[in-house]
Chain A
Amino acid sequence: AQSVTQLDSHVSVSEGTPVLLRCNYSSSYSPSLFWYVQHPNKGLQLLLKYTSAATLVKGINGFEAEFKKSETSFHLTKPSAHMSDAAEYFCVVSDPASGTYKYIFGTGTRLKVLA
């Protein structure tokens, strides 16, 4: 069975400092992994996705994530936080081998950026 765990429900960083949002997954096969962002009272926006190509995935707005199979992790990083990065971030796992393509969403991490 698939599952995804976002290790921090809230993360606060100062503007200009690095961002790290942690995600661990459980999947029976080679999963597809995604990060979505949700700005306040808005819908979801895809940041990036991993689908068994390069393990370091670059996304929009300077975000990137590294797939580490040995650690079953897919942490999201950004070198320098911007005020506009304040939002909710969801890690998502999907197991194409299961045939359902169903997304399993993490519980989200609220990123706060301090001036």
Chain B
Amino acid sequence: AAGVIQSPRHLIKEKRETATLKCYPIPRHDTVYWYQQGPGQDPQFLISFYEKMQSDKGSIPDRFSAQQFSDYHSELNMSSLELGDSALYFCASSSRDRGGKLFFGSGTQLSVL
């Protein structure tokens, strides 16, 4: 069965650079959530999209933006990267028609040097 796909798996950037993380939800899922998990920390909700519109917003910095495209994949754009942005970023997808259960991707490990 298809799962949530995230790319890249690992990403190394330098301070002040930009990064784009991609999330491909399970087919026919209409909702995507983004989470940030710093070393030794619990996941923090960043943002979610439903039917290509932002549905909820968490602790996402202003330097970050995200969108969901017509094919329902989502991209998290991160600019002016800081050392503190080093974290695991994972996304989850769900289908509202099927109860909204979350399915998780494996995450993108971002390291900012």
- A residues near B (Cβ < 8 Å) are 34, 38, 40-44, 46, 49, 88, 90, 96, 100-103, 105, 108, 110
Q: Looking at the complex, which one of A38, A41, A46, A102 makes contact with B107 (CB distance below 8 Å)?
A: A102
The 3 closest A-B pairs by CB, nearest first: A41-B100, A43-B45, A105-B104
Q: How far is the CB of B33 from chain A (nearest CB, A)?
A: 6
The number of inter-chain residue pairs (CB within 8 angstroms) is 48
Q: Chain B residues with Cβ under 8 A from A110's Cβ?
A: 99, 101
> How far is it, in angstroms, between the C-alpha of A34 and the C-alpha of B40 when the chains are bound?
13
Q: Chain B residues with Cβ under 8 A from A43's Cβ?
A: 33, 45, 48, 56, 58
Q: Which B31-58 residues have a C-beta within 8 angstroms of A?
A: 31, 33, 35, 37, 39-43, 45, 48, 50, 56, 58
- B residues near A (Cβ < 8 Å) are 31, 33, 35, 37, 39-43, 45, 48, 50, 56, 58, 88, 90, 94, 96, 99-102, 104, 107, 109
> How far is it, in angstroms, between the C-alpha of A46 and the C-alpha of B35 when the chains are bound?
13
> How far is it, in angstroms, between the C-alpha of A34 and the C-alpha of B107 when the chains are bound?
18
Q: Chain A residues with Cβ under 8 A from B109's Cβ?
A: 100
Q: How far is the CB of B23 from chain A (nearest CB, A)?
A: 15
Does A90 contact B102, Cβ atoms closer than 8 Å? yes
Q: Chain B residues with Cβ under 8 A from A100's Cβ?
A: 88, 109
Q: How far is the CB of B29 from chain A (nearest CB, A)?
A: 12
Q: Chain A residues with Cβ under 8 A from B42's Cβ?
A: 34, 46, 49
Q: How far is the CB of B104 from chain A (nearest CB, A)?
A: 5
Q: Looking at the complex, which one of A90, A101, A108 makes contact with B40 (CB distance below 8 Å)?
A: A101
A96: nearest chain-B partner, CB-CB: B40
Q: List 28 A-B contacts (CB under 8 A).
A: A38-B100, A38-B102, A40-B99, A40-B100, A41-B31, A41-B50, A41-B94, A41-B96, A42-B56, A42-B100, A43-B45, A43-B48, A44-B35, A44-B43, A44-B45, A46-B42, A49-B42, A88-B99, A88-B100, A88-B102, A100-B88, A101-B40, A102-B37, A102-B107, A103-B37, A105-B104, A108-B101, A110-B101
